[in-house]
Amino acid sequence: MMPEHMREHLVQYFGFKPSNVIVLTDHAKNKPTRSVILGALNWLVEGAAAHDSLFIHYSGHGGQAPDDNGDEADGWDEVIYPLDYKENSFIRDDQLHEMLVSRLPPGCRLTAVFDACHSGTVLDLPRIYSSTCRERHSHISNRSRTRGQSAADVICFSSCRDGETSADTFQGGMPVGAMSWAWLSALKRKEEHTYKSLLTATRQILEKRYAQRPQLGSNHEIVSPSISFAAANDL
């Protein structure tokens, strides 16, 4: 799935204004270097207020690095790789959490989709639901669990567990992230989803061809069906 397809879906079906959507690609003038990505994240959350609805989709390379502050139960930070990571390093989950979770005010909602290898806990959220919608409890340390509590409403769909890799596929003759394709396909097949039903539908599409197990992260308990993904458009 090309970034333009995600942008089109946000605008057409969820009411986002085209002027409020930024797309970064390797082939565009505004390339996703480390400084550009961090600048875009800052743009996304700057001035966020109660009842705002924010969305971020990352489809790219991900990995792991030794935990540098003791907040990971498995000793590894999850990271994403900007285009210039060899010169300017990767971006750790700690920094993503600080920018996309800690800075958000009460009543603001962020929906994130991370399609990358080792992305299961890429936002260090305190609650993680497996592809079977069962909550997992051993993915982060108690320190991180306490830090992860935020007054905002943050939801993150990840393409796989921390120890797994994410596959690519071809759609329309173009290479795309398999999870991104499956996630958007699930949305198009059924307009109304709860977060958990969307996770299940994404997994059902993926499992026919791929071993990766998508995850759902949240900073609050998810009680289905009281939370509707489609409702994010109304905030």
Q: Write out the chain in H/E/C secondary structure.
A: CCHHHHHHHHHHHHCCCHHHCCCCCCCCCCCCCHHHHHHHHHHHHCCCCCCCEEEEEEECCEEEEECCCCCECCCEEEEECCCCHHHHCCEEHHHHHHHHHHCCCCCCEEEEEEECCCCCCCCCCCEEECCCCCEECCCECHHHHHHCCCCCEEEEEECCCCCCCCCEEEECCEEEEHHHHHHHHHHHHCCCCEHHHHHHHHHHHHCCCCCCCCEEEECCCCCCCCCEHHHHHHC
β-strand partners of 72: 140
Convert the pLDDT of each residue in 154-187 to its tens digit. 999 999 999 999 999 877 677 789 999 999 999 8
CA-based end-to-end distance of the chain = 26
pTM above 0.85, yes or no: yes
Catalytic annotation on 117?
yes
| 58 φ/ψ angles, rounded to the nearest 5 degrees | -120, 125
Residue position matching structure tokens 């743009």: 43
Q: What is the model's pLDDT at position 235?
A: 30
Q: What whole-number distance in Å separates Cα of residue 32 and Cα of residue 24?
A: 5
- The answer to whether the CB of 103 falls within 8 A of the CB of 148 is no
Convert the pLDDT of each residue in 127-144 to its tens digit. 998 877 777 655 566 655
- Annotated catalytic residue: which of 117, 118, 139, 160? 117
- The answer to whether the CB of 122 falls within 8 A of the CB of 140 is no
Catalytic annotation on 193?
no
- Annotated catalytic residue: which of 5, 61, 133, 220? 61
Q: What is the model's pLDDT at position 65?
A: 96
Cβ-in-10-Å burial (0-12, 13-18, 19+) of 65 comes to: middle
Give the pairing of strands 174-177 and 135-136: unpaired
Convert the pLDDT of each residue in 47-98 to its tens digit. 999 999 999 999 999 999 999 988 888 899 999 999 999 999 999 999 999 9
Q: What whole-number distance in Å separates Cα of residue 94 and Cα of residue 72?
A: 10
Q: What whole-number distance in Å separates Cα of residue 184 and Cα of residue 57?
A: 11
Q: What whole-number distance in Å separates Cα of residue 161 and Cα of residue 108?
A: 26
Q: What is the model's pLDDT at position 171?
A: 73
